[in-house]
Amino acid sequence: MQAKTQRVRINRWIRAETVRVVGPDSKQIGVMPLNRALYIAKELELDLVEVAPEAKPPVCRIIDFGKYKYEQQKREKNQKKQQRVQQMKEMVFRPSIGEHDFEVKAKHIREFLEDGHKAKIVVRFRRGEMARKERGSQLLAKIQKGMEDISKVAKPSYMLGKALMMVLAPIEVKKEKNAKTENKEIGG
């Protein structure tokens, strides 16, 4: 499914009877009947393009339509580049996790945060472990303490069924990521 693109009306496809006209030099010419605006555009060998159809009266520019379309596509492409998609990564722990396993998982959480993703930390309890929920809270506190230099708590710890959860969000991702890539370029 493709998103609907807004069609731009040009020349004889403009429906308004009177329009506000902006010249090719971006100076306002004024409000005039559509026929007169079309005549001026034709004299300059350019197109009359409706740029603000919602305005009263609609705003039209006298420009080269091909160039206008190209600039719009370029602008949209730049906006897409600047958008950042932030994903939620999840890491599951057990309250009786070994030290080495904890360090490996903590390292993965750090990588998620450095890449600009949120990290959801889950401590799952089974059977008799529910009696010692404080172990899960201590584990989450340890993770939070270890990640406080690159993250902030987006959602504090909460219990959901037999799982204790917490969400961490990255802080100042771009600066750290840029510094990381610069070090790689310098090193080799």
Domain boundaries, the chain: 11-81, 88-187
Distance (Å) of CA 169 to CA 75, 81, 84, 91, 178: 30, 22, 14, 14, 18
In this prediction, residue 188 has a pLDDT band, given cuts at 50, 70 and 90, of very low
Which residue, among 164, 170, 70, 72, has the nearest Cα to 119 in the 3D structure?
170
* Residue 113 CB-density burial (10 A; 0-12 exposed, 13-18 middle, 19+ buried): buried
Name the CATH topology of 11-81: Ubiquitin-like (UB roll) (3.10.20)
The answer to whether 153 and 140 have CB atoms below 8 angstroms apart is no
Token pair belonging to 168: 């961490």
For 103-138, write each residue's pLDDT tens digit: 999 999 999 998 889 999 999 999 888 888 889 999
Q: Give the residue-averaged pLDDT of 164-172.
A: 90
Q: Which CATH class is domain 88-187?
A: alpha beta
For 47-86, write each residue's pLDDT tens digit: 999 988 888 999 999 999 988 889 889 998 988 887 777 7
- Residue-level pLDDT at 21: 94
What's the chain's average pLDDT?
A: 85
